[in-house]
A and B are shown apart, each in its own frame.
Chain A
Amino acid sequence: MQTPSLQGGFAEPAREAAMVFRDIMTAMARPGQIETVAPGLGIAPLSDAAAAVVLTLCDADTKLYLTPRHDTEALRRWIAFHTGVPLTGPQEADFALGAWDDLTPLNRFRPGTADYPDQSATLIVECEALDPQGAMLSGPGIQSTTELSLPEVKAFRRNAQQFPLGLDFIFTAGVQLAAPPRSTKVT
């Protein structure tokens, strides 16, 4: 019987999830700052950083949307085994996973409501690389300005205009992650 690989995941879930959670929290609190997670967590096509985010934040009480290119049988089984998160379409998703081109247009995702702006989607964006140069970021958590390689600027500007509604982003590449939330102004 051929079963797809279930390799990866946390060896010590409680401890490692706490460490990754801390990394994500720091990355969100300091937009543009690039954090590094432990290697060896994910399986193709998932990067280790994206795998760490999914393993830490997704569980049976959240909903995950996989973009078509990430929606493979092997990855479905891996995610089901390690997290038990139910998969849905983009409109109901709490988390969405994929490359930037597959995630756009962003208006498919929930920006939250005026009463509950926290009920919005967080996009886990897989990138080739993350560099501290490119788009200019400013706003809460940034001393003056900082730079981060973002796939485009317009979408983020539009997202920030909706504040307090809007989407949060976690960019992942290899073992690195950066997380500009909706409050970050991109120019």
Chain B
Amino acid sequence: MLDETLTVYDRKSWLSLLATARAGRAKALLDPLEIPVDFTWLRRPEIGSVMIRGRAGGTGAPFNLGEATVTRCSLKLAGDTVGHGYVQGRAKADAQTAALIDALMQTPAAETLTPRLPDVLRSEQKERRHKRASKAAATKVDFFTMAPGEG
């Protein structure tokens, strides 16, 4: 059954899932797998800020929306695979888990990881979005009766 649902992720998409996952969630999913990891730091977790840029309406000229706190780190597995972790907020543990998973997803361990980590994170993200969207949809007001020329 697992094979049927096995999705192939590219690096960008799993990094995005890890960056948006809830605090501690990725670690909670990774720990029970008991994958032996042996890594060295390339860059220890550090906290900084990034400028978030936006476009009005998604198409306008880019402007600076504001700054966000970001924690990042980079590590190297025993087999020279490099993993980077970037998460929002002051979350050194989450950044470490994200970097670890990023590195592991580039190794053969990805096969075990995919159904248990990115898949789970993606469905949770979908659910979160759906919940939010339906909450917003409930407050939607339809003005069709106000349209001129009716009745």
Contact of A9 among B43, B80, B81, B82 (CB under 8 A): B43
Contact B41 A1 (CB under 8 A): no
Chain B residues with CB under 8 Å of A81's CB are 42-43, 74
Q: Known contacts A6-B42, A9-B43, A81-B42: does B81 contact A1 (CB below 8 Å)?
A: yes
* Complex interface residues of chain A between 34 and 58 (CB less than 8 A to chain B): none
Please, which residues of chain A bring their CB within 8 A of the CB of B67? none
CA distance A2 to B80 in the complex (A): 8
Q: How far is the CA of A13 from the CA of B48 in the complex (A)?
A: 13
Select one of B46, B76, B81, B106 contacting A7, CB under 8 A: B76
Closest residue of chain B to A3, judged by CB? B82
- Interface residue? A114 (CB, 8 A): no
Residues of A with C-beta under 8 A to B130: none
Inter-chain CA distance A2–B42, complex, in Å, is: 16
Interface of A is mostly: loop
A1-B81, A1-B106, A3-B80 as given contacts; A11 in contact with B41, CB under 8 Å: yes
Q: Given that A1-B106, A81-B74 are contacting pairs, would A7 and B44 also be in contact in the complex, using a CB cutoff of 8 Å? A: no
Contact A7 B42 (CB under 8 A): yes
**A1, A11, A82, most chain B CB atoms within 10 A:** A1
Give Cα A13 to B82, complex, Å: 20
Mark interface residues in A1-19 (1 if CB within 8 Å of B CB, else 0).
1110111010111000000
Count of interface residues, chain A, beta-carbon cutoff 8 Å: 12
Question: How far apart sit A11 and B44, CA to CA, in the bound complex (Å)?
Answer: 7
- Assess whether A6 is in contact with B76, with CB atoms less than 8 Å apart: yes
**CB proximity of B100 to chain A, nearest CB, Å:** 16
Q: Closest approach, in angstroms, between the C-beta of A60 and any C-beta of chain B?
A: 12
Which of B42, B44, B81, B106 has most chain A Cβ within 10 Å?
B42
Residues in B with CB closer than 8 Å to A11 are 41, 44
Query: What CA separation (Å) do A159 and B57 show in the bound complex?
Result: 55
The complex places the Cα of A30 from the Cα of B78 at a distance, in Å, of: 44
Taking CB as reference atom, which chain A residue is nearest B41?
Answer: A11
Complexed CA–CA distance, A140 and B38 (Å): 52
Interface residues of B (CB under 8 A from A): 41-44, 46, 74, 76, 80-82, 106
> Considering the complex of A and B, which 3 residue pairs feature the smallest CB-CB distances, nearest first?
A6-B42, A3-B82, A1-B106
- Beyond A3-B80, A3-B82, A82-B43, 12 additional contacts (C-beta under 8 Å) are A1-B81, A1-B106, A3-B81, A5-B80, A6-B42, A6-B74, A6-B76, A6-B82, A9-B42, A12-B44, A13-B46, A81-B74
